[in-house]
Amino acid sequence: MDGSPEDRQTVRVAIWRVRGGAPALPAYMTADAAGCDLAADLDAPLTLAPLERSLVPTGFAIALPPGFEAQVRPRSGLALRDGITLLNAPGTIDADYRGEIKLILVNLSAEPRTIGPGDRVAQLVVARVARADWQLVAEAPAAGDPLWTDRGAGGFGHTGTRAAKGASRDTEGAS
């Protein structure tokens, strides 16, 4: 594998418009983009007041093959520049869903923000998924058990916020 486009896995996904308009279909904006941009399928501009949220249509639906999902994610520039992001992010579109893809946009800025028809407002990433085969065990793993990890049940900030002693933020010369 040399990183060429031929190394990339491609999956065929059926897509169709759900209304009479001609919304922009999802599009990869660069050669190596992981996500394709989604546009708002609006009849008129939509202004979101600070902290207001709205369900925004994309105008299309998809048919993912079994074993795949699509994740709806915010666009970083829109979030940084305008405070517009997605609630429930990433949002999961299951392989058996056939309805219109809609986006829960929210304005986290202190000013009203306007979304125009055709504005690119989110990203869609198609990914493989695995299903779990849950195996109920009699008790939680303990030190020495093959299922135990050094992390254990530590979560929600258990590693702190400071860089580890001796850790360098300089990546030059790193292999």
CATH code of the domain in which 16 resides: 2.70.40.10
Residues spanned by the domain of 106: 12-128
- Flag whether 162 is in a domain: no
- Flag whether 2 is in a domain: no
Q: Is the pLDDT of residue 5 over 90?
A: no
Task: Give the C-alpha separation, 10 to 5, whole Å.
Answer: 10
Mean of the per-residue pLDDT values of the chain? 89
- Flag whether 145 is in a domain: no
- Flag whether 171 is in a domain: no
- Flag whether 45 is in a domain: yes
pLDDT digits (tens, 9 = 90+) for 96-155: 999 999 999 999 999 999 999 999 999 999 999 999 999 999 988 888 888 888 887 778
pTM: 0.81
- Flag whether 113 is in a domain: yes
- Flag whether 151 is in a domain: no
Q: In terms of C-beta density within 10 A (0-12 exposed, 13-18 middle, 19 or more buried), how is residue 102 classed?
A: middle
Helix-strand-coil percent breakdown of the chain, rounded to 5?
5, 30, 60
Domain count, the chain: 1
